[in-house]
Structure 1
Amino acid sequence: MELMFEFARILLFCFAGELCHTLLPLPIPASVYGLLLLLAALRLGAVKLAQVRRAALFLTGVFPLLFVPAAAGVMELWAQLQAMLLPAVLALVPVTVLVMAVSGRVTQYFVRRKERDHV
């Protein structure tokens, strides 16, 4: 039953994100609003990590399954996508490398900061 309440807390932030997306004239997806609101609530202590931990771990565990329908759609439209293959690869490779590099640097920064704070 507790897992249902954890999901409900996460869904509440998803709905709040939808509300922000509807009310604010910014080109930010509702899911990003929801994540930012949940992050703010966690950082401010309005929501404790223990109140959403199990549901969040479950959701991140099944997250790769959410890409299956998109991959199936790509395979279905392969004939149309072949014409765009070279431009797509030329765009995706540098962006992927950039995302990996930035993610690695940010992770290193936080690991070093955590080690420095604990010493």
Structure 2
Amino acid sequence: MKALKQLGIIITILLVGQILQQHFNLPIPGTVMGMIILLVLLLLKILKLQWVEKISSILLEHLSFLFVPAGVGILTSLDKFKGKVIPLFIVVMVSTIVVMVVTGVTVQLLVKNKKGEKIW
């Protein structure tokens, strides 16, 4: 029952993000808005980590399963990618490298911060 309450909190926050995105016609997806709201609530300690920790762990354990609908959607739209394979490949490679570099730098900064070393 605890996980169900936590899922309700997460879904409510995502719903608020979706409503804000549609109401203000923002260029950011509603789900991303919901995640930003969740982050702000956690950082401001309005929402305690214990209130969403269990369901977050469960969702992270099954993250690969949650990508199946997106993969199926891409497969059903393969005809739209004809003639655009090389630009798409370049975009995927560049974005992957950028994500890897940013993630690596972030982890290094967090490790230094945890050890008490000066970051800058």
Fold in common (TM above 0.5): yes
Q: CA deviation at 1:52?
A: 0.5
Corresponding residue of 2:51: 51
One-letter amino acid of the structure 2 residue matched with residue 5 of structure 1: K
1:69-80 alignment, distance < 5 Å: 69-78=69-78
Tell me the residue number matched to 1:81: 81
Deviation at 1:54, TM superposition (A): 0.7
Indicate the structure with greater helix content.
1
Note closer, same or farther for the CA distance 1:24–1:107 as it changes in structure 2 (3 Å cut): farther
- CA offsets, 1:23-61, max 9 Å, x none? 224311111111111111111111111111010111122
Cα displacement string for residues 54-89 of structure 1 (whole angstroms, at most 9, x for unaligned residues): 101111221211222332344445455353222211
User: Which segments of structure 1 move beyond 6 Å, counting only runs of 4 or more?
Assistant: none
Other-structure match for 1:107? 107
Identical positions, percent: 27
Stretches of structure 2 that go unaligned for 5 or more consecutive residues are none
- For structure 1, list consecutive stretches of 5 or more residues without a partner in the other structure: none
Name the counterpart of 1:41: 41
Distance in 2 of aligned mates of 1:77 and 1:18: 25
**Structure 1 residues 116 and 88, CA, compared in 2 at 3 Å: closer, same or farther?**
same
- Number of matched pairs: 117
Residue type of the partner of 1:87? P
- Using the size of structure 2 for normalisation, the TM-score is 0.84
| TM-score, reference length from structure 1 | 0.84
Residue identity opposite 1:70 in structure 2 = A
Higher relative contact order (CA 8 A, sep 6+): 1
